[in-house]
Structure formats: structure tokens, C-alpha cells
Chain A
Amino acid sequence: MLDIKNLHVTVGGKEILKGLTLSIQPGQVHAIMGPNGSGKSTLSFVLAGRSGYDVTEGSIIYNGEDLKAMATEDRAAKGVFLAMQYPVEIPGVTTMTFLKTALNSQRRKRGESDLDAIGVLKLVRAKAKELNVSEEMLKRALNVGFSGGEKKRLEILQMSIFEPKLAILDETDSGLDIDALRLVAEGVNALRSPERAMLVITHYQRLLDYIVPDRIHVLAKGRIVAEGGKELALELEAKGYEHIVGQAA
């Protein structure tokens, strides 16, 4: 599904990713762990197609296509979803309006017809219920005045509505207390499916207690320095990043 080879990325002239190689199959959940500044968020932005993140070398193949050549919104329509660490606020635009606009934009790109207002409402309501997102939240302006937990739940709600093929979760655990974390993790787990790949980016091991990955990659200084199964997270927790990064260096 996703094949990254020898990826080099610069941001503002500074090289952040320095030859990253990674491959994910459908149905798998991979975790990227790493210390601050290792390039975790850069990886998520490059995959999503944020401007200012320039690929200088290497390739990203997504379902047989060159992802780099695809416009940001086209990637979304083709199933790339990034649950953001800091979801943005858009004043004056209700959450429901935003969801409807986004959903129909994606559908149009795929050559599908628009879903009418009632269809969107039904779909959103059904999914919102599962994630404990209230009707009232959907009427408020997008992310404006939302708590940290509400923002992250809304990201997962969008993931559930858009049904992406590749879901990237960037530090979804940051800023959440343990109850909020559990709720979000349950939402994510419910979306695990044989057709869907997930890339979970996190600094801490605790998220992986709830979202158990098939594989863990440790990112440091722009490269994958260690890989393993879920037990690698426990080792990291016990010994710290320094130990593993140091060994690799």
C-alpha cells in the first residue's frame, strides 16, 4: 500500500528526513516512535502533501502511484488521511458545514455524486454517536473553543466518515488525559480493517497500550534506526531513546 524508499526531505533549506525507508501493507498498523525533532511530524506532512516540505530524493509509492506528484486534495480523495496533532480552528464555519464540504469535495474528485444535506446529516450523526461527539459540537464552529479531547475526537470522527485507505495519526495522544485517550483509541481500533493501513506517530509508549501496532519503527535524526514488534515499545519505555539511538549510531 505504502512504499517509502530512501526519502530525503528539506524544510526551509534544512534536511530533516535523511534516507527514510518504510513499507506498510493493507490491514497493518505501524507505529513511528522517536524523540522530539527526529522528523516524525515532517514525515506525516510529506505524506499528506503540505507545501514547504520538499522531497529532494527518494520515492513514495502509494497504491502503485507516485504520491509526490499528487495534489494535496487529490491525495485526500484517494484515501490519505492525516489526523493532526493541532487541528485548526475555522471561525464561522460550523463543523457540520465543514464535514459536508469536505465529504462532497472528495466524492466529486472520485467522480461520485454529491451527498445531499440529509444524507450527510444521517451519516455524520450515526458516526458521531459511536464516538460520543454531541449534536451540539457539530453545530459549533470547527474546533473553535473545543477542548483538546474534543478536537482529537473530531479528527477520529472525520477519519470514520471519510473512510481512508491510509490513516496517519500524528501525536493523537498529545494533550489527552487517560479517559480521553481511551475513548480516542477505541475509536481508532474500531476503524482497523483489512483494507486500511494506519501509521501511528507518537512520542510515548502509552498510546500503544491501547492501539497495539503490528510493527514499530524508531525514527531518529531523519532515519529509521530500529524496528521491531510491539515489545520494542516496552524496551524504549524502560531504557529511553538515548540507549537505542546510541546503539544505532
Chain B
Amino acid sequence: MSSPAQLETKAQVAEIGDKYKYGFVTDIEMDMAPKGLSEETVRFISAKKNEPEWMLEWRLAAFRRWLSMKEPKWARVHYPQIDFQDAYYYAAPKNNPLKQSLNEVDPKLLETYNKLGIPLNEQMALAGVAVDAVFDSVSVATTFKEKLNEAGVIFCPFSEAIRDHPDLVKKYLGTVVPVTDNYYATLNSAVFSDGTFVFVPKGVRCPMELSTYFRINASETGQFERTLIIADADSFVSYLEGCTAPKRDENQLHAAVVELVALDHAEIKYSTVQNWYPGDENGKGGIYNFVTKRGDCRGDHSKISWTQVETGSAITWKYPSCILRGDHSVGEFYSIAIANNYQQADTGTKMIHLGANTKSRIISKGISAGKAQNTYRGLVSIYGKAKNARNYTQCDSLLIGGNCGAHTVPYIESRNPTARIEHEATTSKIAEDQLFYCLQRGIPQDEAVSLIVNGFCKEVLQQLPMEFAVEAQKLVGISLEGSVG
């Protein structure tokens, strides 16, 4: 039954699985950059990766720019000032494990995976999905390489791409999210340590799902990964990223940049299941997820589709966007954002219509529980040359309990009279009579909440690749457990 490729993945993933399993329970000795952020830190990271001079210069330019920038304050999130000098910007596991420290394991996280039935990695192996695993600052393994090579698809750690495919990296890096784009993107440009690079050549339909599994493990460490996906003309690729982090009392910063480029008639489907540690029930700890994701539909008839299931992080600040540059290009954004306890989410999208006959579709489902605040913030902008541009936006909010908040902030700009823009928004509560109905039919409360919320999110869940839809459904339920008192 098993093809060589599947066997390869199983072997690879078993190995990763082991490392990750011990990642929870073992203190892996880490190779760390000195604490703090300076030009020296940037040079240290670049040197660690044996980067060419041009890459170092690129980073340094970003760093100098960053020094002159200010943190954005417009999002509806509140957190204490971040001390950027009080963190590590590079952490890579050495191979010799040190003393055991069982305290490191987040029992809730382990429990979460138990509840999910199978560890993420095994599940991916069974599904025959190619995986790149990023552990803190470095990529630790990439599976299925051989089979992808046969198809001409490049799928490798970012640092490897800089070494092996410098021309492609130079041609596309920073062309969708410029170095100067925003505070966190600029910071990322200076200190990014690893990430994933994908290139799908002309006319190739990528033979399998590609996936990156990000994990923050080290304490007091920020994760700054960089993902660049290029789909050449007439190609197709579906990519999924999963994220987890252990439970820690401190807040950790995650500032990633993702750039997608789709050329003529190419399609990129990008899915995220984000389950960073959200902090405890009292709002202590958790990941600050400040991420810049943008896709450029550079070619005519190109298509970029974002699907995200955001259940983790203490704070989420994230707007996966599409620049619809090519004529007839299509941008899609399907989102589920769940905020429980003290989580804060300010997330949405930007659809920038530049080309003629461009179309965009936004389906956002925000769920708030506990004392959480959940904001949808979205921009639909139709430029003068985008004749016959069309957008459909649907923003639905679901409230669980009386102490949370849902906010919808749509920005709509149209400079072309032929544009058609539709916006629908609803806010509802899980009604007591719905819960009672489920209970009366024998469905326990947490399961009832999960059922109702999954129903609410259905349109988005349907967009996920099959292999991950089930996992995402369970995650939706788990992240809301105990939210109805």
C-alpha cells in the first residue's frame, strides 16, 4: 500500500515526532544569540546561517529602518509595552539533549493532543502531506523532498533557499511585503531566522499538500519566520501551516511574514491552523501573534485563497491580504477567529483591487467567549482602473456569555463607479434555548457548544483541506471548553 514517498514521510515524521515529543519533556540545549536586539544580533544570525553578503545587507537595511519606526497602536488590542531588548532573537536546538525537566511540559497541551487523538505529525504522515518543521529559529526537517523534486517543486527551509536558489529569493523576497511595510514586518526582515520557501514551476500542479509545522519551544524567545511561496504561470499549490507553543508565564513574540506570488493563471491556497498558547484562564502568558501575510495576484486570472482557523495566541494582529493586480484575478479570505478567556484578536483582511474584473470574497466568523475581545477589521479598496470589480463580504459574530465583545470594522473605498461591493454582518449569541435543546437530547454542554460553533463556522471549515478539517473541528470545540458556566 505505502508508496516510497509515504514511507519516507512516515520515517521523517516519526523522527520529528520524537524530537517534538522530547521537545515537550526535554530541555534541549540551545544555541542562542546573546539577549537583546542590535546590529550585532542581526550579524550573528546571518553568520550562523552562513548567509551571503547581500542577505546580510538586506537585513541590516531593515534593522536601521526599524530603529526609526513606531509600534502600530490602531488595533483594538491592549498589552504592556514590549521590551525588545529583553528577548532572544535566535535559538536553535543542539543535538545533545540535557537533563530532563518534566515541568517544561504543558500538561494542557499534551492533553490537547491526546484529545485530538493523534499527534499532528503522525496525522500528516498518514495523509501523505509533505511537512517542513520549524523548531524555534530553524527548520529541522522537510519531508517528501524527492517526490517534489521529480515534479520540479522546490520546498525547502528558507535558509537553504538563500543558499541554493539565490536568484529566486532575490527576485521575489520583499516584493509583496516590502522591508518598509510595517513595524513588525520590518523587524522580521532584520532578524528572521528560518521559514519555508516554495517554488512551483510553470504548468505544475503540486502533487501533494505542503505543510509547515511551526513550534516555539525556547523560553523568552521570539519567533520570526519567513515564508515565500511563488506559483509560476498555470501552476497550483495548496499549503497549510500549523502552529503550537508550550505554556509559559511570559508573553512571547511571534512576528512572521508570509509572501505569496501567483503569476498568470496560477492558484495558491494557503491554510492556517493557529493554536499558539493563548495564555491561562487569568490572561497570564501566551503568544503575541503579530503577523503580516500578503498575497500578490500578479498575473491575469490568478487566484489566492486564505483560510485561517485562529484559536490560539494571547493577542492576534493579523490581516492576510490579497493584491489583485492581474486582470480577472480572484482573492478569497475565509476566517474563523476564536477568542476565549482574556484573548484579544484583531484580525481580518485587505482586498486591494487594482486590475479589471477582479473579484474578492470575504467570509469571517468571529467567536468570543469569556472576557475576550474579537475584532474583524477589513479593507476593500477598488482602484480607478479596476472596472467591474466585485466584492462580497460576510462578517458573522457569535457571542458566548455576557462578558465578551465582538467588533466589526469594515473599511470600504471605491474609486470606480462600476464596482459592486456587498457587505453583510450579523451578531448572534448561543441562545440558552439552543443549549437546552441539545442537553435535552442528551448532548453534554461542551459538546453542544462545539456542535453549535462548528455549525456557525461551517462555510469556512469546508474550505480547509480534507486532512485538516477534522482536526480543526475538534480544535474549535476544545478551545471553547468550559466557556459556558
Complex interface: chain B residues within 8 A of A77 (CB): 442
Within 8 A of A (CB), among B120-137: none
Closest to A93 in B: B455
Q: Is A105 located at the chain interface by the 8 A CB criterion? A: yes
| Chain B 67-111: CB-based contact to A (< 8 A → 1; otherwise 0) | 000000000000000000000000000000000000000000000
Residues of A contacting B459 in the complex (Cβ-Cβ under 8 angstroms) = 92
Contacts of A87 in B (CB 8 A): 437
CA distance in complex: A87, B443 (Å): 15
Closest-by-CB residue of A relative to B433 is A88
Instruction: Check if B440 is an interface residue, CB within 8 A of chain A.
Output: yes
Q: Tell me the chain B residues, 416-445 only, with Cβ under 8 Å from chain A.
A: 431-434, 436-445
Contact at A105–B452, with CB atoms within 8 Å?
no
Decide: B441 and A158 in contact? CB cutoff 8 A: yes
Query: How many Å lie between the Cα of A105 and that of B442 in the bound state?
Result: 6
Contact (A76, B458) CB under 8 Å given A90-B434, A101-B451: no
Interface-forming stretch among A9-17, A48-56, A173-181? A48-56
Q: Is A109 on the interface with B (CB-CB < 8 A)?
A: yes
Q: Mark A138-165, 1 if CB is under 8 A from B, else 0.
A: 0001000000000000000010001000
Interface membership of A82, Cβ < 8 A:
yes
CB neighbours (8 Å) of B437 from chain A are: 84, 87-88, 90
| Interface residue B457 (Cβ < 8 Å from any Cβ of A) | yes
Complex contacts, A158 vs chain B, CB 8 Å: 441
- Kindly list chain A residues whose C-beta atoms are within 8 Å of the C-beta of B440: 48-50, 72-73, 75-76, 81-82, 84
Within 8 A of B (CB), among A65-110: 71-73, 75-77, 81-82, 84, 86-88, 90-93, 97-98, 101-103, 105-106, 109
B172 at interface by CB-CB < 8 Å = no
CA distance A106 to B436 in the complex (A): 15
User: For B444, what are the chain A residues with a Cβ–Cβ distance below 8 Å?
Assistant: 73, 105
Residue from the set B437, B441, B447, B459 with the largest chain A CB neighbour count within 10 Å = B441
Q: Are B455 and A92 in contact (CB under 8 A)?
A: yes
By a CB distance below 8 angstroms, the chain A residues around B442 are 73, 76-77, 102-103, 105-106, 109, 162
Q: Which residues of A97-133 are within 8 A (CB) of B? A: 97-98, 101-103, 105-106, 109
**Residues 199-215 (chain B) with a chain A CB within 8 angstroms:** none
B455 neighbours in A (Cβ, 8 Å): 90-93, 141
Q: Which residue of B lies closest to A82 (CB)?
A: B440
Give the Cβ gap from B140 to chain A, nearest Cβ, in Å.
Answer: 38
Instruction: Specify which of B432, B439, B440, B458 lies most central, judged by the most chain A CB atoms within 10 Å of its CB.
Output: B440
Q: A50-B436, A88-B433, A88-B434 are in contact. Are A102 and B441 (CB under 8 A)?
A: yes
B20 sits at the interface (CB 8 A): no
B472 → chain A closest CB, angstroms: 14
Separation of A75 and B442 alpha carbons in the complex (Å): 8
Cα–Cα distance between A103 and B442 once the two chains are bound (Å): 8
Closest residue of A by beta carbon distance from B458: A92
User: If A90-B452, A91-B456, A105-B444 touch, does A73 touch B439 (CB 8 Å cutoff)?
Assistant: yes
Bound-state CA distance A199–B28 (Å) is 65
Of all chain A residues, the one with the shortest Cβ separation from B457 is A92
Contact across chains for A51 and B447 when beta carbons are under 8 A apart:
no
Known contacts A84-B440, A141-B455; 11 additional CB pairs below 8 A are A50-B436, A72-B440, A73-B442, A73-B444, A76-B439, A77-B442, A81-B440, A86-B433, A90-B434, A105-B443, A162-B441
* 14 A-B pairs in the complex with CB atoms less than 8 angstroms apart: A49-B440, A72-B436, A72-B439, A84-B440, A90-B434, A90-B437, A92-B459, A93-B452, A98-B441, A102-B438, A102-B443, A105-B444, A106-B441, A141-B455
Ranked nearest first, the 8 interchain pairs of A and B with the lowest CB-CB distance are A92-B455, A76-B442, A93-B455, A106-B442, A102-B441, A92-B458, A72-B439, A105-B442
